[in-house]
Structure 1
Amino acid sequence: MSWFESLVLGLVQGLTEFLPISSSAHLRLTAVAFGWEDPGAAFTAVCQIGTEAAVIIYFRKDIARIISAWFRSLRDARVRSEPDARMGWLVIVGSIPIGVLGVTLKDSIEGPFRDLRLIAVNLIVLGIILGVADRLAARDATGGRHRAIRERKTLDQLSVRDGLMYGLCQAMALVPGVSRSGATITGGLFLGYRREAAARYSFLLAIPAVLASGLYELTEIGGEDTHVSWGPTILATVIAFFVGYAIIAWFMRFISTRSFMPFVWYRIAVGVVLLVLILAGTLDPKAGEDVDEGPISTSEA
């Protein structure tokens, strides 16, 4: 991987990680568009450490309160009912599904799941589901069917069941094209949470999963079986951090007054274009896996 590749991929990671459009899919598609080799699941996981560092800094006050309350709850059972302490436990509960499935499906994540046909279908399908969930949230916000916005839940009402459901939705993002934030926010909207609450818990829930995944994949960087070296990976991670921090601030303001529909239409459009190119024979669904082989070169694609 060249320094220019890492620069571009770091920008893409920072721009797309927190938006419900799938950063892993966009890293894959960016490599295909430029005729580069697939950066791979290991590079993606390590690069995400940068964006999660941005989450930690942006939500540092919330995280500090949660960690403090969680440790106090280990000694004092009365503290466990406090919102911050409960959030600490619920983040742990919600992280279990992706941890188990991430290890179990590691080979598939690094191989078959990166097929462009699967990515295209995931972009379209989850886009439609997110659109439906967003419409339901908008209906509640306007009092549709005599429901008021106050009936939409906040994070103080997060239960163990809901935390686990969030976690199952997050685990779907192991497949490129789904989107970690997209899946968890969609799940939160269907569970009856407000847009801001769904997004905030999505960001908090991602921290242990992404950091664990990135640290787990560190040994894959710079190995003999990969074209990704340490220098470019570090550069991409640093760029992803700064860009990601700016995107978090913008996104939290955006969803407080706007819907997710622009992201829905974007996902569907990208997915449809991908499928058309693949079905027309213009794009190899495995483009980028081996730049020297294949029925069609990635530069032609």
Structure 2
Amino acid sequence: MRRAVVLTVAGATLAVAVLLAIGGVGDDPNKLTNWQALALGVVQGFTELLPISSSGHLILVPWLFDWTYLEQNDAFNQTFDVSLHLGTCIAVGAYFWHDVVELVRAWLGTLRSRSISTPSERLAWAVVIGTIPAALVGFALEDVIADHLGDPWQMAILLAVFGLLLGWADRKPADDGLDRVTVRKGLWVGLAQCLALMPGVSRSGITITASRFLGLDRDASARFSFLLLLPITLGAVLFKGLTDVVLADLPSGTTGPFVVGVLASLGTGLIAILGLLDYVRRHTYDVFVVYRVALAIAILLCIATGFRSATF
């Protein structure tokens, strides 16, 4: 997508979200409000696509501002979280539409020819193979992760540790483009993606880190990370949408927050993609490393001073 088109679509989407929030359309002030959904959607759009952990931020923002509804309604919280991911999934799909169509055609072509030979075919299979590990681990350990991970003190440690790991990987000599991605590299990045199930690690952060260690340049690492987001997120959205929305009843007064959250994450997601790709063509990932470490220190200070508790 051209830059002007991206910014126009992003601006229009965010404007609609703000107008719905101003009007309080479809929300309940005693539950999750449209304004809170707007804030979380903006957070999701930026943090899912930047290497700074969306799951961590979606937990930390309500923790910091003492928004208790999501904490007290865990089932709704998980469904709302997936709806926010729908917005970023649409953003990535729209931005990389031509790439996605090319990869789907290439993948279908390998099924007919029973061979993998071109760069597009290798990349298509790398995305497929790279999706499988996290999908299996997430399905098997969803409840375990939800019950034992996600406390603020844990996220502070993971933000710092994996931020420093990103900085280390980014200093490795690496100049391969997407045309050098292999199925084997896709598997290794996919295995690394499993770590992102822990809030604070960052899906984009760990996949970019793994890609840099495997020799991809900064631009290719970011693009490969974005492409890996599509199948894993789309699968989660479809599964949760069927089980938690179609086959279950959402609480009244939550339609507005769902719509506002999706629109906000879509708009900011487009801006984040454009901004990150422009930035890493000229700079290192150091700014994200510094941010992650600084945020980790801020979280620990909030806990140490008693401003917020270390757990939920």
TM-score (norm 1): 0.85
CA distance in 2, matches of 1:5, 1:82: 46
Question: 1:168-207 to 2 correspondence within 5 Å?
Answer: 168-207=191-230
SS in 2 for 1:127: helix
CA distance in 1, matches of 2:293, 2:175: 27
1:7 aligns to what? 38
2:124 aligns to what? 88
Decide whether the 8 Å contact of 2:64 with 2:308 is kept in 1.
no
2:102 aligns to what? 65
CA distance in 1, matches of 2:185, 2:178: 10
Change (3 A) 1:157 1:34: same
Q: Deviation of residue 108 (structure 1)?
A: 2.6
CA distance in 2, matches of 1:227, 1:261: 44
The runs of 5 or more residues in structure 2 that have no matched partner are 1-31, 72-76
Change (3 A) 1:132 1:103: same
1:99 aligns to what? 135
Decide whether the 8 Å contact of 1:221 with 1:230 is kept in 2.
no
1:220 aligns to what? 244
SS in 1 for 2:199: coil
1:162 aligns to what? 185
Q: Deviation of residue 228 (structure 1)?
A: 8.6
Match of 2:282 among 237, 257, 262: 257
Q: Could you tell me which amino acid in structure 1 is paired with residue 284 of structure 2? A: S
Q: Deviation of residue 227 (structure 1)?
A: 9.3
Q: Could you tell me which amino acid in structure 2 is paired with residue 29 of structure 1? A: L
SS in 2 for 1:81: coil
The answer to whether residue 164 in structure 2 is matched with residue 133 in structure 1 is: no
Decide whether the 8 Å contact of 1:13 with 1:240 is kept in 2.
yes
Change (3 A) 1:11 1:82: same
Q: Deviation of residue 171 (structure 1)?
A: 1.4
Change (3 A) 1:163 1:10: same
CA distance in 2, matches of 1:104, 1:226: 27
Q: Deviation of residue 77 (structure 1)?
A: 3.0
The runs of 5 or more residues in structure 1 that have no matched partner are 141-150, 288-301
CA distance in 1, matches of 2:41, 2:221: 26
The answer to whether residue 291 in structure 2 is matched with residue 243 in structure 1 is: no
Q: Deviation of residue 280 (structure 1)?
A: 3.6
CA distance in 2, matches of 1:220, 1:231: 17
The size of the alignment, in residue pairs, is 273
2:88 aligns to what? 51
Decide whether the 8 Å contact of 1:46 with 1:213 is kept in 2.
no
Coordinate RMSD, CA, aligned: 2.0
Q: Deviation of residue 249 (structure 1)?
A: 0.9
1:124 aligns to what? 160
2:311 aligns to what? 286
1:30 aligns to what? 61
The answer to whether residue 49 in structure 2 is matched with residue 18 in structure 1 is: yes
CA distance in 2, matches of 1:120, 1:110: 17
TM-score (norm 2): 0.82
Decide whether the 8 Å contact of 1:221 with 1:229 is kept in 2.
no
Give the stretch that moved more between structures: 109-118 or 273-282: 273-282
Change (3 A) 1:225 1:111: farther
Decide whether the 8 Å contact of 1:169 with 1:187 is kept in 2.
yes
Identity of aligned residues (%): 37
Q: Deviation of residue 221 (structure 1)?
A: 5.4
Tell me the alpha carbon deviations over residues 35-90 of structure 1, each in whole angstroms, 9 at most, x when there is no partner.
10246333222211110111111111111111112112211235x21221222211
Change (3 A) 1:225 1:281: farther
SS in 1 for 2:230: helix
Q: Could you tell me which amino acid in structure 2 is paired with residue 42 of structure 1? A: T
Q: Could you tell me which amino acid in structure 1 is paired with residue 179 of structure 2? A: D
Decide whether the 8 Å contact of 1:41 with 1:109 is kept in 2.
no
